[in-house]
Amino acid sequence: MATTRIHLTLERIRKLQSPQGNQAVYVFDDAPRQLSVRVTPAGSKSFVYSGKLNGIPLRVTIGSVDTWNLDDAREEARRLQRLIDTGIDPRELAKEEIAAKAAAKAAEVAAATEAENRKRYTLRALCETYTKHLEVNGKGRSAAATRSAFKCHVFSNDVANLPANEVSSLLIAGLVRKVRETGKERAAGILRSYLSAAYNAAKKAPFDASLPADLIPFSISYNPVDAIPAIKIKAGNRTLSTNELKTYMASLGSDLSDQSLKLALYAGGQRMAQLLRAKIGDYDDQTQTLRLWDSKGKRTTPREHLLPLAPEAAKIVSSLVTRAKERETAKAKEQCREPIYSNLWLFSTHGRVAMTFETPGIRAAEICAGMKGESFNLRDIRRTVETMLAGMGISKDTRAQLLSHGLSGVQSAHYDRHTYTDEKRRALKAWEAKLEAILSSQNTKH
């Protein structure tokens, strides 16, 4: 390494020539003596500090002569020498400063990320993500009910905009209490249940591959709803009398919504949501069997629910199939294509979109209002059917199979493989005979 000492000036630095060979040369200043200009064979020039710490030589590159002012380079050399004089290694100090800057930058990024997460992963967002999860898993009706409850009782409150993992049990209790104090006992219980389900899903998401990854960033480690006692929902007990059921049946016309109500009744009190999901391909005209899909409860996949229909119910379904096929045939002819029947909905105005659950419910409410008696809804109709079936001597097991409820236990899931086809067919025939007898009977006081 060649060294030279001169009084450095900008002009002298400019005139320094690249050395021959492959070693750099160092041209030292006269004051401070520790400052030099390093010239490489490639022609680059840099200010360099050279000194000794505890008798051991050390060298620190200050920077390129193109970016450093000569006076500033001299001052930097003096600063480095002052550090040496106090026993501080400027190289280690530089590393510490770099590490400190990196830590400060990381903290800044973390703070920004935290602030963004607080805005993004709110209680509102958790509710929306959970509702979307229900929809994706075919729980359309549950998703609609959940979304409605959250919209009415959560999103209108400031707590909805808080980070979901910071919402306390006390705040959740406030939401539930607010609904309950308006006299909506059932709505309060349902709200608590939906919130608990959303939090439980987010808590399990990191470990349960069946749950969406979108729930993981909410960082839910505990369920704040657990501290809130469940609200017991009073069991419904409204059933229609024979006269009321007769008036109800007599009010059903030929409109599509009326036909859905009639089929739900004649098919043994089926859940409307399941009935409206039925397609042409779900009906076997040879055996007069209608296939429904029961996704109610915690089932990950819908359970096949077969209904061997009695004559009147089969007639209703056959007419719906004919109607849907005729509409599809006409549409296919207009579009110059082959008709596609199997995916057509039985209950649809235009064939491609299923009737919404609300439509039959609204129609049932209209009939109820016209009867000018005690109010009832579709759930009460279903309860009436099962109550009358029990009175007819239809066994509890057959009723459970017919109405597709309570079939998720160990016995049903793993051991009982009996289809109950004959039992259900006999029950539905007997039920139609019962309905026909009611229609033709004289009104009584009971």
Per-residue pLDDT reduced to its tens digit, 276-333: 999 999 999 999 999 999 876 555 577 899 999 999 999 999 999 999 999 888 888 8
The residue behind tokens 């608590």 is 192
| Per-residue pLDDT, 347 | 93
Rounded to an integer, what distance in angstroms lies between the CA atom of residue 303 and that of residue 187? 28
From the candidate CATH numbers 1.10.443.10, 3.40.50.2000, 1.10.8.420, 3.30.70.20, the one assigned to the domain spanning 242-440: 1.10.443.10
Tell me the percentage of the chain whose pLDDT exceeds 70: 93
Q: What is the pLDDT of residues 70-91, one digit of tens each?
A: 999 999 999 999 999 999 999 9
3-state secondary structure of 291: strand
What's the confidence (pLDDT) of residue 296?
A: 67
Q: Quote the pLDDT of residue 132.
A: 95
pLDDT grade for 416, boundaries at 50, 70 and 90: very low
- Rounded mean pLDDT, 163-185: 94
pLDDT at 1: 59
**For the residues of 38-83, what is the DSSP string, one character each?**
EE-TT--EEEEEEEEETTEEEEEEEEETTTS-HHHHHHHHHHHHHH
Helix (H/G/I), strand (E/B), else coil: 290: strand
pLDDT band (50, 70, 90) for residue 150: very high
Whether residue 143 has pLDDT greater than 70: yes
Reply yes or no on whether the pLDDT at 8 is more than 90. Answer: yes
Q: What is the pLDDT of residues 188-206, one digit of tens each?
A: 999 999 999 999 999 999 9
Assign a CATH topology to domain 121-227.
DNA polymerase; domain 1 (1.10.150)
Task: For residue 414, name the pLDDT band (cuts at 50, 70, 90).
Answer: very low
C-beta separation of 260 from 357 below 8 A: no
Report the distance separating Cα 354 and Cα 343, nearest Å.
11
- C-alpha–C-alpha distance, residues 406 and 247, integer Å: 31
Question: Rounded to whole angstroms, how far apart are CA atoms 178 and 73?
Answer: 70
Long-range contact pairs involving 45-49 (C-beta distance under 8 Å, separation at least 24): 45/13, 45/16, 47/73, 47/76, 47/77, 49/76, 49/77, 49/80, 49/81, 49/90
Q: Where are the beta strands (DSSP E) in 54-158?
A: 56-64
Q: Contact at 8 Å (CB) between 47 and 37?
A: yes
Query: Is pLDDT larger for residue 142 or for residue 28?
Result: 28
The CATH architecture that domain 2-88 belongs to is 2-Layer Sandwich (3.30)
Q: What pLDDT score was predicted for residue 95?
A: 92
Please, which pLDDT band fits residue 269 given cuts at 50, 70 and 90?
A: very high
Judged against a pLDDT cut of 50, whether residue 169 lies above it is answered with yes
**How does residue 412 score in pLDDT terms, banded at 50, 70 and 90?**
very low
Decide: 4 and 28 in contact? Cβ < 8 Å.
yes
pLDDT at 235: 65
pLDDT of residue 21: 86
**CA-closest candidate to residue 382, choices 361, 397, 408, 362:** 361
Question: Rounded mean pLDDT of 122-135?
Answer: 96
Res. 438 pLDDT band, cuts 50 70 90: very high
Each residue of 402-423: b (16+ CB within 10 Å) or e? bbbeebeeeeeeeeeeeebeeb
Which residue in this structure is represented by tokens 């030099």? Answer: 36
Residue 142: pLDDT band with limits 50, 70, 90: confident
pLDDT at 287: 95
CATH 1.10.150 location in the chain = 121-227
Longest Cα–Cα distance of the chain, Å, equals 127
Whether 445 has a pLDDT exceeding 70, the answer reads no
Percentages helix, strand, coil for the chain (3-state, rounded to 5) are 55, 10, 35
Mean pLDDT of 213-221: 95
| Helix orientation angle between 140-153 and 123-136, rounded to the nearest 10 degrees | 160
**What pLDDT shows up at residue 406?**
55
CATH 3.30.160.390 residue spans of the chain: 2-88
Please state the pTM of the whole predicted model.
Answer: 0.58
